[in-house]
C-alpha cells in the first residue's frame, strides 16, 4: 500500500497548488509550458463524451478502463524513427529564434574556417614563385590585393570574428538546451502527476525518474548541440565541395567516390544505434528502479543482513546496462573504423592523382595543398554527418520514452466536468460498488458495496485487514473509479465533477503522512493558495487544533524548522500532527483520516477528537479508518465491513460494543488478544 498512499497524497496535493512545485518552491511556468495542455479534440466534445460515459452509474465491467494499457512500453521497436525525429524538432519550435541565431553564428564561424585552406595554398604558391625567381628584391608581396602586413592584420581580424562567432554559438546553444530540457522535464512531470492511481501502481518511480532525467537530457542534446554539429557539417561540406570543384573537377570526381559507401554504412548504423539507445535507456530505467527501491529500504536491508543479496541484484542490472553498452561500442567501433578506412583510402587516391596532375602542369602545389585540406574538411563533414545521424537516432530512441509518458492521457482526467458548488451538508453514498485494483483484476475488493454517510457525521470504518477500508478513501478521492456502481455526493455522481476542484474540497491524512523536505510552515501551508499562507491567525488555529503548538514552539527555529527528507527529523506522532494541522488549515468539507492518529498520545488524540466533534457541528463529514479502540470511541457512528466490502453492521460505538455477539466486539477482542501476545 505504500506506493498507493504516496501517490494518493501527491495526486491530491498537486491539484491544490496553482503552479508546478519543485521541492517546496513555487516555480513560475515556462512561457510555452501550457502548450502541452492542448488536446487533440475540442474541449466541449471531450467533456460531453466524458459525461456520457460516466452518466450511467451501473456501467458494465467491459466498459471500464481496467483493460487499458497501464504500463509504459519497454520494447525497443524497429521503426525508421522518422516520426520521432519530426517530433524532436517540433519540440524546438519555441526556441526557433535562438536556433536561427545559432545558425547564423555557425555560418560565420564556418566561413572563417573554410578560408584557411585557400589562404595556405596561396601562400605556398607565392613562396614557391619567390624561390623560383631567386630575386634579391625585397619588395613586399601582395596577397589578395593587399600588402603582406595588411593582409596578415586583416586575416587576424577575420579569425577574431570567427572566434567570437564560435563562442556565441556555444553560449546560445547551451542556454537554449537548458531551457528546452527544463521545459521538457516540467511537461513530463506534469503528465506524470496527472495520471491515475492505476498508472503509478503499474510503473515504478525509478523508471519515471529515468525518463525525466537522462532521457530528457539526451533529447535536449540531440536537438541543440547535435543539430548544431550537423548544420556545421553541412555548411563545411557544401563550401568544401564547391571549392574543390573550383580548384579541380577531376580530383573532385575522385572525392565523390567516398559518398556512397558512407551513406549506406550511416543508414545501417543509425538504425541500429536508435534501437540500442532505446534499449539502453530502458535498462538504465530498470537500474534506477532497483536503486530507488534499495535506497528507500536501506534500514530493512541492513536489519536482515541483505546487503550481499541486494548488491548481487544491483550488479545484475548494471551488467544488463553494460551488455547493451558493449553492443553499441562494438557497432560504433566497426562503423567509425570502416568510415576512417574509406576516408584514408580516398585521400591516398587524391594524392596519387594530384601528384600526376602537378607533373603534367594541370595544378600547382599550392592548389593541391588547398584541395587536400578542403578534401579533409569535406570528408570530416561527411564523417560528422554520419555521426550526427547516429546521435539523432539516439535522441529519437530516448524521445520515444519521453513522448510515451507525455502523450498518455489519464484514464481519470483531472480537469473535465462541472464544478462542485459545495460538498458541505451533503450525503455520501456508495451504490452497489464493485471494485478490483487494476493491477489485481481477479481479486475483488468490493462486491456490491452499499454505504451512506450523512452530513455532520464522524464515521469510523472498521474491518479485517485487506477488507478495503483504505480503498473507500481511494475511491472517494477518485484515485480509482469503480468497475460498476456509483459514488454520489448529494445525489450527484462524483465522476461528473471537475476532479481538481472536487479534491480541493477534501482532505486526507494517512498513517504514514508524506512530509516534504522543507520547513514545518511550508508543509502545513502546502495545500493553500499563496495568499492564504500569510495569515498567522489561521495557522496558529490549525496548530492548536492538532496540538502542534507546544512541540513547534520548543524548536529554536519554530515554524521554520526543517523536517528533513520524508519528515525524518520529526517523530511519528509529530509527523501525524503536522499532517493533521495541514488538513485542519484547509478546513475541507470531507476529511479522511486513514489511521491518522495511530501514533498520537492520549492528550493529542483527545484534542484532535474535540476538533473533529466541532466539524460535526458544522455539518462537515469526517471518515476515520482505524483499528484502535480509542479512535473508534470518538466517532459518532461505526461501520463494520467484511472482506468483500459488505456492511456487516452499523451503529454507535456503545450500541455495537454492548452486544457481545457483534462483529465489532469480535474484531476488538482479536485486536486485544494480539496486543496481549
At 574, list the grid cell: 509529530
Q: Domains along the chain?
A: 2-57+418-676 (3.40.50.300), 94-407 (1.20.1560.10)
Q: Report the distance separating Cα 656 and Cα 461, nearest Å.
A: 13
616: left (phi over 0), alpha (psi -120 to 50) or beta: alpha
C-alpha distances in angstroms, 661 versus 649, 656, 667? 11, 9, 11
Let me know: does 477 contact 457? Beta carbons within 8 Å: no
Residue with cell 460494543: 657
User: For 89-126, how does the pLDDT look when each residue is reduced to its tens digit (9 = 90+)?
Assistant: 777 788 888 888 988 998 898 888 888 888 888 777 77
What average pLDDT does range 302-310 have in this prediction? 84
CB atoms within 10 A of CB 150: 14
> Does 39 have pLDDT greater than 60?
no
Q: Report the distance separating Cα 484 and Cα 481, nearest Å.
A: 8
User: For 132-187, how does the pLDDT look when each residue is reduced to its tens digit (9 = 90+)?
Assistant: 665 555 566 667 777 778 888 888 898 899 899 989 988 998 888 888 888 888 88
pLDDT at residue 139, rounded to an integer: 61
| pTM beyond cutoff 0.85 | no
How large a percentage of the chain has pLDDT more than 70? 84
pLDDT at residue 72, rounded to an integer: 66
For 631-671, the three-class secondary structure string (H helix, E strand, C coil) is HHHCCCEEEEECCCCCEEEEECHHHHHCCCCCHHHHHHHHH
Question: Phi then psi for 488, rounded to 5 degrees?
Answer: -120, 150
pLDDT at residue 624, rounded to an integer: 93
pLDDT band at residue 223 under the 50/70/90 scheme: confident
Residue with cell 452497489: 432
pLDDT at residue 32, rounded to an integer: 38
User: For 325-371, how does the pLDDT look when each residue is reduced to its tens digit (9 = 90+)?
Assistant: 898 888 888 888 887 788 788 888 888 888 888 888 788 888 888 88
Three-state SS at 486: strand
Three-state SS at 578: helix
Q: Report the distance separating Cα 370 and Cα 393, nearest Å.
A: 34
Closest among 217, 215, 211 to 192, alpha carbons compared:
211
Q: Report the distance separating Cα 371 and Cα 475, nearest Å.
A: 74
Per DSSP bridges, beta strands 428-436 and 484-489 are antiparallel
Q: Report the distance separating Cα 34 and Cα 476, nearest Å.
A: 29
> Does 263 have pLDDT greater than 70?
yes
pLDDT at residue 485, rounded to an integer: 93
Residue with more model confidence, 62 or 423:
423
Q: Report the distance separating Cα 24 and Cα 5, nearest Å.
A: 20
Q: CB-based contacts of 363: which residues, under 8 Å, 6+ apart?
A: 247, 248, 251, 354, 357, 371
Q: Report the distance separating Cα 532 and Cα 585, nearest Å.
A: 10
Residue with cell 570530416: 380
Write the DSSP string, 225-252.
HHHHHHHHHHHHHHHHHHHHHHH-HHHH
Let me know: does 630 contact 602? Beta carbons within 8 Å: yes
Q: How far apart are the two ends of the chain, measured CA to CA in Å?
A: 26
Three-state SS at 180: helix
At 626, list the grid cell: 482505524
pLDDT at residue 663, rounded to an integer: 86
What average pLDDT does range 628-633 have in this prediction? 86
Residue with cell 467484511: 642
Burial string for 406-426 (b: 16+ CB within 10 Å, else e) reads: bebebbbbbebbeebeebbeb
> Does 508 have pLDDT greater than 50?
yes
Find the radius of gyration of the CA atoms of the chain: 35
pLDDT band at residue 60 under the 50/70/90 scheme: very low
> Does 10 have pLDDT greater than 50?
no
At 24, list the grid cell: 517546496
Three-state SS at 104: helix
pLDDT at residue 672, rounded to an integer: 57
CB atoms within 10 A of CB 436: 20
At 348, list the grid cell: 591516398
User: For 609-624, how does the pLDDT look when each residue is reduced to its tens digit (9 = 90+)?
Assistant: 899 999 998 999 999 9
Closest among 482, 440, 499 to 63, alpha carbons compared:
482
Amino acid at each position: 500500500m505504500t506506493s498507493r498512499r504516496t501517490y494518493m497524497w501527491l495526486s491530491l496535493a498537486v491539484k491544490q497548488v496553482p503552479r508546478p512545485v519543485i521541492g517546496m518552491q513555487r516555480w513560475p511556468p515556462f512561457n510555452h509550458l501550457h502548450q502541452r495542455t492542448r488536446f487533440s479534440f475540442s474541449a466541449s466534445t471531450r467533456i460531453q463524451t466524458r459525461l456520457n460515459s460516466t452518466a450511467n452509474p451501473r456501467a458494465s465491467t467491459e466498459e471500464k478502463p481496467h483493460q487499458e494499457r497501464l504500463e509504459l512500453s519497454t520494447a525497443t521497436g524497429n521503426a525508421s524513427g522518422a516520426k520521432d525525429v519530426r517530433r524532436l524538432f517540433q519540440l524546438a519550435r519555441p526556441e526557433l529564434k535562438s536556433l536561427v541565431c545559432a545558425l547564423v553564428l555557425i555560418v560565420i564561424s564556418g566561413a572563417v574556417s573554410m578560408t584557411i585552406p585557400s589562404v595556405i595554398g596561396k601562400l605556398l604558391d607565392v613562396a614557391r614563385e619567390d624561390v623560383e625567381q631567386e630575386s634579391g628584391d625585397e619588395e613586399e608581396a601582395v596577397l589578395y590585393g593587399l600588402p603582406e602586413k595588411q593582409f596578415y592584420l586583416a586575416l587576424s581580424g577575420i579569425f577574431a570574428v570567427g572566434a567570437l562567432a564560435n563562442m556565441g554559438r556555444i553560449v546560445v546553444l547551451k542556454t537554449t538546451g537548458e531551457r528546452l530540457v527544463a521545459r521538457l522535464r516540467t511537461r513530463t512531470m506534469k503528465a506524470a502527476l496527472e495520471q491515475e492511481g492505476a498508472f503509478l501502481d503499474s510503473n515504478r518511480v525509478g523508471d519515471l525518474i529515468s525518463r525525466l532525467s537522462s532521457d530528457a537530457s539526451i533529447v535536449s542534446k540531440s536537438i541543440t548541440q547535435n543539430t548544431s554539429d550537423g548544420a556545421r557539417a553541412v555548411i563545411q561540406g557544401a563550401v568544401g565541395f564547391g571549392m574543390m570543384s573550383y580548384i579541380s573537377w577531376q580530383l573532385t570526381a575522385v572525392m565523390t567516390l567516398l559518398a556512397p559507401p558512407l551513406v549506406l554504412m550511416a543508414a545501417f548504423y543509425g538504425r541500429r544505434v536508435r534501437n540500442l539507445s532505446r534499449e539502453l535507456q530502458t535498462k538504465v530505467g530498470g537500474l534506477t528502479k532497483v536503486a530507488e527501491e534499495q535506497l528507500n529500504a536501506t534500514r530493512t536491508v541492513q536489519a536482515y543482513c541483505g546487503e550481499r543479496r541486494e548488491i548481487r541484484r544491483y550488479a545484475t542490472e548494471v551488467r544488463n546496462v553494460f551488455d547493451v553498452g558493449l553492443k553499441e561500442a562494438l557497432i560504433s567501433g566497426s562503423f567509425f573504423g570502416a568510415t576512417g578506412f574509406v576516408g584514408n583510402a580516398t585521400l591516398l587516391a587524391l594524392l596519387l592523382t594530384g601528384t600526376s596532375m602537378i607533373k603534367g602542369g594541370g595544378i600547382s602545389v599550392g592548389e593541391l595543398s588547398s584541395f587536400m585540406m578542403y578534401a579533409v574538411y569535406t570528408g570530416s563533414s561527411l564523417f560528422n554527418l554520419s555521426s550526427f545521424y547516429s546521435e539523432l537516432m539516439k535522441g529519437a530512441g530516448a524521445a520515444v520514452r519521453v513522448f510515451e509518458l507525455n502523450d498518455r492521457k489519464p484514464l481519470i482526467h483531472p480537469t473535465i466536468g462541472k464544478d462542485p458548488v459545495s460538498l458541505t451538508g451533503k450525503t455520501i453514498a456508495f451504490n452497489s460498488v464493485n471494485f478490483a485494483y487494476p493491477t489485481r483484476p481477479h481479486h475483488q475488493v468490493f462486491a456490491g458495496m452499499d454505504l451512506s454517510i450523512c452530513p455532520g457525521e464522524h464515521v469510523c470504518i472498521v474491518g479485517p485487514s485487506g477488507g478495503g477500508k483504505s480503498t473507500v478513501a481511494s475511491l472517494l478521492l477518485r484515485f480509482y473509479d469503480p468497475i460498476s456502481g456509483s459514488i454520489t455526493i448529494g445525489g450527484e455522481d462524483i465522476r461528473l465533477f471537475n476532479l481538481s476542484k472536487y479534491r480541493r474540497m477534501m482532505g486526507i491524512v494517512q498513517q504514514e503522512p508524506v512530509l516534504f523536505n522543507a520547513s514545518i510552515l511550508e508543509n502545513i501551508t502546502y495545500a493553500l493558495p499563496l495568499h492564504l499562507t500569510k495569515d498567522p491567525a489561521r495557522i496558529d488555529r490549525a496548530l492548536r487544533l492538532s496540538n502542534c503548538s507546544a512541540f513547534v514552539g520548543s524548536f529554536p527555529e519554530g515554524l521554520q524548522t526543517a523536517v528533513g527528507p520524508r519528515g525524518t527529523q520529526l517523530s511519528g506522532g509529530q509527523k501525524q500532527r503536522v499532517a493533521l494541522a495541514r488538513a485542519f488549515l484547509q478546513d475541507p468539507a470531507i476529511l479522511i483520516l486513514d489511521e491518522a492518529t495511530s501514533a498520537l498520545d492520549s492528550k493529542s488524540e483527545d484534542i484532535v477528537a474535540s476538533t473533529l466533534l466541532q466539524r460535526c457541528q458544522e455539518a462537515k463529514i469526517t471518515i476515520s479508518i482505524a483499528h484502535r479502540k480509542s479512535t473508534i470511541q470518538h466517532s459518532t457512528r461505526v461501520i463494520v465491513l467484511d472482506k468483500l466490502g459488505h456492511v456487516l453492521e452499523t451503529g454507535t460505538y456503545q450500541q455495537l460494543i454492548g452486544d457481545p455477539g457483534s462483529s465489532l466486539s469480535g474484531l476488538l477482542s482479536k485486536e486485544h488478544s494480539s496486543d496481549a501476545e
